[in-house]
Amino acid sequence: MAVKQEIKYLTAVKQEKRQKKYCRFKKMGIKYVDYKDAEFLKKFLNDQGKMLPRRITGNSLKFQRKVAQAIKKARQMALLPYVTDLLK
């Protein structure tokens, strides 16, 4: 019969739970990513106009692909820049 020994710490263990990332398209029920809406697409770009990775945006693969396509279209039509400084 082993006696269960409780592990005791001197300081309280930090139990910060990071908020789970989610796909905003799935959550909001957005089905179509519009390439004409440049302001919306800017949320998925960094200051230099580069696309943010899924790791950061939390998009699902399906919608990350759609966002990427939309951004590329917007760039072709000069709604978004290919390269800049200080976007936003």
Residues that bind another protein (CB under 8 A): 24, 27-32, 34-37, 40, 73, 75-82, 84
Characterise 87 by phi-psi region: left (phi > 0), alpha (psi -120 to 50), beta (else): beta
Q: Which is nearer to another protein, 35 or 44 (CB)?
A: 35
- Do 63 and 26 contact (CB within 8 A), yes or no? yes
| Closest separation in Å from C-beta 57 to another protein | 13
| Closest separation in Å from C-beta 63 to another protein | 12
Q: Which is nearer to another protein, 53 or 77 (CB)?
A: 77
